Amino acid sequence: MKTSIATVSISGNFAEKLEAIAAAGFHGLEIFEQDFIAHDANPREVGEMIRAMGLEITIFQPFRDFEGLPDPLRAKAFDRAEHKFDLIQELGTDLMLICSSCHPEAIGGIDRAAADFHELGELAKKRGLRVGYEALAWGRHVNDHRDAWEIVRRADHENIGLILDSYHTLARKIDPDTIRRIPGDKIFFVHFADAPAIDMDLLYRSRHFRNMPGEGDLDMIGFTRAVMATGYSGPISLEIFNDQFRGGQPKTIAKDGYRSLLALIDDVHRAEPALALTVPDMPARIQAKGLSFIEFASKGQDAETLGALLSSLGFTACADHLTLDLTLWAQGDIRILVNRETKGYASSAFTLHGTNVCDIGIAVEDAKEAAERAQLLGADLFEQPIDPEHLKIPAIHGQSGGILHYIDDKTGLSNVWDLEFTNRADPSQAAGLTRVDHMGHTMSYEDMLSWSLFYTTLFDLKKSAMVDVVDPDGLVRSQALESLDGSLRITLNGAETHKTMAGRFLAESSNASVQHIAFATDDIFASAQRLEACGFAPLPIARNYYADLAARFDIDAATLARLRAQNILYDEDARGKFFQLYSRPFADGMFFEIVQRTGGYEGYGGPNAPFRIAAQKRLMRQKGIPNVRPQMS
């Protein structure tokens, strides 16, 4: 089975597109006509250049407004087709895509269109070429693959076949199982594209919001299963029109595309093992069992400041690494590492970003298997020289330069704390913080899909709906990824401008990846009191907020008074309640959060975000410096 991608899916000039497509591992590419026309080389040279890169041209597209025209437009359309046949022969491919006509003068009529295609089939046959017909979801007369198939069937020509496109079928809510009735050898080509579930004009959504399989909400697995059930054996090809991708990094987008296709094929194989698919033999999506550790890179005075903040949060420095300048701070089941090494990965991360989270450890059943899945999906393994006595813990490069380690009990990796750390004391219970509730990544909005694809293809996570977080200076989009049992929760926060709290963090930390960490407690009021005793300085919340809370929710006066006195934010949903207490910002705008969930509350306090952000910005402005250090009492 060959993988392919349309050049229109990738940003950059023609040469950059080709390079990115080849580097990502695709077998071939679809030449999108515009990309070819904009490029300054003749078709023969273009074909040779592509083949020299080890790629094949899987199709040339699109040819528009062909079928069902009255003369003289009809004759002109055949004439245009002959010109394009010359071109594709020089490029060195044998397949051309015709999309259903949007021409205002197209007459319609299944048999008229079929007759046009039969006649074109004869011309194609003389040259050994083939033509595929695709129904655009907004085609003037043909906008459903079932009608396109009827035309192809009646055209009854071996050189004329059908082209399917997941977007056109699924965006129109056509049952993909109707594809199972089409003979596989008459399907000449298939386009794969996902899209978000937003109510929007079909053409506009297609041209601007398509995304990689798995990044959107369409039933890509159902569609692919139906296609494969027909016996289709042509390329599986991505055709993604997306505004963010057009402005992105060619290599990243091509790599994401390849990752999305492999994950899709793997999903389809697991859903319907009887289908003839060449699948990479990869472990299933990994069940994450939580965050085993979060590691900061820091140094000197910065590390002292971070230590003081952790201590005010009730953490104690429980152990030191045997050979590295690495301290383990712990409380309940939470492990925070502070790495002060002057060489190696953490040191470079500190040089680049300042104090930041450089590494996270995810607890899994089998670390080796987890790393294997990641590697097969295109992730790069992370390795740096270690003491031969130390555990070799599998790790990969995450997004934005971060490292992700896999920790398991199965191969003894979770013994690392006993084996490699000294002066061990029990974790603190000082403020009653029990575990990491969630960790918040911040990235620019353009990169959000890439991040969610990374996590959701590696781990078994569900995506919650995207929410808007209103910052006084712009909008931040936030999306949560959660393991089914809630043991791993990650939020992705996409900043659109540098003026937002999130955008400023990115600018000032040179794109560090973790902006906040939320710890869980079973009793937020008790924790707040104990934190005060530890010297914790909470983020002061505007008094107006509490007056509004009283109006919005049924909260008794005593509870409201405690919330106000302790600067605790409150939210509730149909299932339960949510309490939040924030630290002051540190290190370029990072912050900690303490949360309590009761009764299965599912969110992250989204409605409170504007008030929290306003408070953070107020504090940063008051101090007159962008990067406020926490105030210790």
Ligand X SMILES: O=C(O)c1ccc(O)c(O)c1
Q: Which CB, 61 or 339, lies closer to ligand X?
A: 61
Q: Which of the listed partners (ligand X, Mg ion, none) does 206 bind, with a CB threshold of 5 to 8 Å by partner kind?
A: ligand X
Query: What is d(CA 378, CA 591) in angstroms, rounded to the nearest whole number?
Result: 32
DSSP 552-596: HS---HHHHHHHHHTT-EEEE-SS-EEEEEEBPPBTTTBEEEEEE
Largest Cα separation within the chain, whole Å, is 89
The residue count for binding Mg ion (CB under 5 A) is: 3
Stretch 187-206 residues interacting with ligand X (CB under 6 A):
191, 206
Mode of pairing for the β-strands spanning 395-397 and 326-331: unpaired
- Closest distance to Mg ion from the beta carbon of 164 (Å): 8
521 contact choice in ligand X, Mg ion, none (CB below 5 to 8 Å, kind-dependent): none
530 sits near Mg ion (criterion: CB under 5 A): no
Choice between 61 and 456, CB closer to ligand X: 61
The correct pick among 165, 266, 408, 482 for binding Mg ion (CB under 5 A) is 165
Count of residues near ligand X by CB under 6 A? 11
Our finding on whether 62 is near ligand X (CB under 6 A) is yes
Nearer to Mg ion, 62 or 250 (CB): 62
In the complex, minimum distance from the CB of residue 239 to Mg ion, in angstroms, rounded to a whole number:
5
Cα-to-chain-centroid distance, residue 544: 37
Q: How far is the CB of 191 from ligand X (least distance, A)?
A: 6
Of Mg ion, ligand X, none, which one does residue 207 interact with (CB within 5 to 8 Å by kind)?
ligand X
Q: Residue 371 and residue 361: Cα distance in Å, rounded? A: 12
SS3 396: strand
Nearer to Mg ion, 161 or 630 (CB): 161
Q: 384 CB contacts (<8 Å, ≥6 apart)?
A: 344, 345
Q: How far apart are CA 610 and CA 632, in angstroms?
A: 25
CB of 234 to ligand X, least distance (A): 14
Residues 75-104 that bind ligand X (CB under 6 A): 97, 99
* 165 is an interface residue for ligand X by CB under 6 A: yes
What is the Cα–Cα distance from 159 to 182, expressed in whole angstroms? 16
Q: Is 239 in the site for ligand X (CB under 6 A)?
A: yes
Close Cβ partners of 244 (under 8 Å, ≥ 6 residues apart):
445, 446, 449
The tokens for 143 are 């906008």
Sketch the per residue contact string, 563 through 582, with Mg ion: x for CB under 5 A, - otherwise: --------------------
Q: Pick from Mg ion, ligand X, none: which does 62 bind, CB < 5 to 8 A by kind?
A: ligand X
CA distance 66 to 136: 13
Please count the other Cβ atoms lying within 10 Å of the Cβ belonging to residue 243: 12
The smaller minimum CB distance to ligand X, of residues 165 and 471, is found at 165
Percentages helix, strand, coil for the chain, rounded to the nearest 5?
Answer: 40, 25, 35
Q: How far is the CB of 578 from ligand X (least distance, A)?
A: 43
DSSP strand pairing (395-397 vs 160-165):
unpaired
Least distance (Å) between residue 255 CB and ligand X: 22
| CB 582 to ligand X: min, Å | 46
Phi-psi region of 344 (alpha: psi -120 to 50; beta: other; left: phi over 0): left
3 state DSSP class of 449: helix
Which of the residues 136 through 155 are near ligand X (CB under 6 A)? 136
Q: Which residues are annotated as a binding site for Mg(2+)?
A: 438, 516, 593
**373 binding partner (options ligand X, Mg ion, none; Cβ < 5 to 8 Å by kind):** none
Applying CB under 5 A, which part among 239-247, 411-419, 540-548, 589-597 lies near Mg ion? 239-247
Helix residue ranges, H only, 325-476:
345-353, 367-376, 416-420, 448-458
55 binds ligand X (CB under 6 A): no
Place of tokens 């097969």: 376
Please enumerate in sequence order all residues whose Cβ is within 8 A of that of 119, keeping only pairs 6 or more positions apart, or say none: 78
Q: What angle do CA 30, 101, 245 make, to 5 degrees?
A: 40
Instruction: Supply the minimum distance, in Å, between the C-beta of residue 261 and ligand X.
Output: 17
Q: Which of 44, 76, 181, 207 binds ligand X (CB under 6 A)?
A: 207
CB of 206 to ligand X, least distance (A): 5
Closest CA to 361 of 294, 412, 298: 294
In which element (H, E) is residue 331 found?
strand 326-331
In sequence order, which ranges of 281-414 are alpha helices (DSSP H)?
300-312, 345-353, 367-376
**Which CB sits closer to Mg ion, 51 or 207?**
207
- Residue at shortest CB range from ligand X: 62
Query: Considering beta carbons, is residue 195 or 403 the nearer one to Mg ion?
Result: 195
Q: Tell me which amino acid residue 188 is.
A: F
Q: Which stretch binds Mg ion (CB under 5 A): 190-198, 369-377, 523-531, 534-542?
A: 190-198
Residues in the annotated binding site: 438, 516, 593
Distance CA 114, CA 154 (A): 6
Find the binder of ligand X among 33, 65, 94, 134 (CB under 6 A).
Answer: 134
User: In 313-419, where do the E strands start and end?
Assistant: 316-321, 326-331, 334-339, 356-363, 395-397, 403-407
Between 98 and 306, name the residue whose CB sits nearer to Mg ion: 98
Nearest C-alpha neighbor of 589 from the set 540, 498, 535, 516:
516
Contact residue for Mg ion among 239, 302, 420, 482 (CB under 5 A): 239
**Smallest gap from residue 174 Cβ to Mg ion (A):** 14
CB of 344 to ligand X, least distance (A): 48
The partner in contact with residue 295, picked from Mg ion, ligand X, none with C-beta cut-offs of 5 to 8 angstroms by kind, is: none
- Which residues make up the interface to Mg ion (CB under 5 A)? 165, 191, 239
- Which residues make up the interface to ligand X (CB under 6 A)? 61-62, 97, 99, 134, 136, 165, 191, 206-207, 239
